[in-house]
């Protein structure tokens, strides 16, 4: 490793050592956060979208979507809702949202933020694991900011960061949860095991395209648009499928300049 590389690593480690005590105090209490001016109460043991940037990134990706045609009949499923930030931003755009989380505190938090933002008529929060609370229901849009790392979570908050199999289970359950013409918006980081989810989605015959991307230092966040393949795309054969997957991998591994 070069001298410059060692210096960067040393400075990063020093920064983390200084940051952790502050982070522990902030995450251990109720806080009022703001994402692009939208107020959000965040309870202890709930993923904080103002501290951890992928939550705010998802909210901004949702803000960039077109307002739903068909008004209140268009439905969103926000999986792993956490504070409910994705649900709140989707409801503000006119969608009706079902927000799901395996963490009971997160479900409570999402309900509080629906009330705080006068969106309780548009957001329904349910407790449960992935698609289990919405069996046999279909959605026009599915939002997912998944755990990026493999492993057994140590506590409810850690479940937002790691899971042994949630990526594969999401890929298996997504096609049945989408209405015809529906899609998912999935946030992944160049940190973690995002390639496994992209590969699992591709094996299910889903099309995967980058919707938006942003660099944060040495991390790149991408919101991927995932949809069922059209008949024309499916007729393209294995060669086109291989080319699409190769292109997707190049996009995923790219470290573009900011």
Q: Which tens digit of pLDDT belongs to each residue from 84-126?
A: 999 999 999 999 999 999 999 999 999 999 999 999 999 999 9
For the chain, the domains span 29-253
pLDDT of residue 192: 85
Q: How far is the C-alpha of 33 from the C-alpha of 50, rounded, in Å?
A: 6
Count helices and strands in the chain by DSSP H and E runs: 8, 9
Q: Which residues, 6 or more positions from 218, have their beta carbon under 8 angstroms from its beta carbon?
A: none
pLDDT of residue 239: 42
pLDDT of residue 258: 42
- CA angle, 202 then 207 then 210, to 5°: 105
Cα atoms found within 13 Å of the Cα of residue 42, Cβ hemisphere only: 25
Distance of CA 211 to the CA centre of its chain: 13
The DSSP symbol for 66 reads P
pLDDT of residue 153: 85
Is residue 174 within 8 A of residue 206, CB to CB? The reply is: yes
Residue stretches of the chain with pLDDT short of 70? 1-28, 70-72, 230-258
- What is the reported pTM? 0.81
pLDDT of residue 94: 93
Helices 166-177, 194-203: inter-axial angle, 10-degree rounding: 40
Q: How far is the C-alpha of 87 from the C-alpha of 122, rounded, in Å?
A: 9
Domain 29-253 has CATH 3.90.650.10: no
């Amino acid at each position: 490793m070069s001298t410059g590389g060692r210096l960067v690593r040393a400075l990063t480690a020093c920064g983390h050592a200084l940051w952790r005590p502050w982070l522990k105090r902030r995450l251990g209490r109720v806080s009022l956060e703001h994402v692009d001016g939208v107020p959000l109460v965040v309870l202890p043991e709930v993923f904080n979208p103002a501290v951890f940037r992928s939550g705010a990134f998802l909210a901004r990706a949702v803000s960039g979507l077109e307002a739903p045609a068909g008004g209140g009949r268009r439905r969103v499923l926000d999986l792993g809702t956490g504070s409910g930030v994705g649900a709140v931003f989707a409801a503000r755009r006119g969608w009706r949202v079902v927000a799901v989380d395996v963490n009971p505190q997160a479900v409570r938090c999402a309900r509080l933020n629906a009330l705080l933002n006068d969106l309780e008529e548009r957001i329904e929060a349910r407790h449960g694991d992935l698609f289990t609370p919405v069996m046999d229901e279909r959605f026009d849009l599915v939002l997912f900011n998944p755990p990026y790392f493999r492993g057994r979570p140590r506590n409810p908050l850690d479940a937002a960061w790691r899971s042994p199999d949630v990526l594969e289970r999401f890929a298996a359950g997504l096609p049945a949860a989408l209405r015809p013409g529906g899609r998912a918006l999935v946030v992944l980081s160049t940190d973690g095991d995002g390639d496994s989810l992209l590969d699992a989605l591709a094996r299910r015959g889903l099309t995967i395209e980058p919707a938006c991307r942003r660099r944060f230092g040495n991390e790149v966040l991408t919101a991927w648009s995932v949809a069922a393949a059209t008949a024309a795309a499916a007729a393209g054969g294995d060669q086109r499928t291989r080319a699409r997957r190769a292109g997707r991998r190049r996009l995923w591994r790219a470290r573009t300049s900011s």
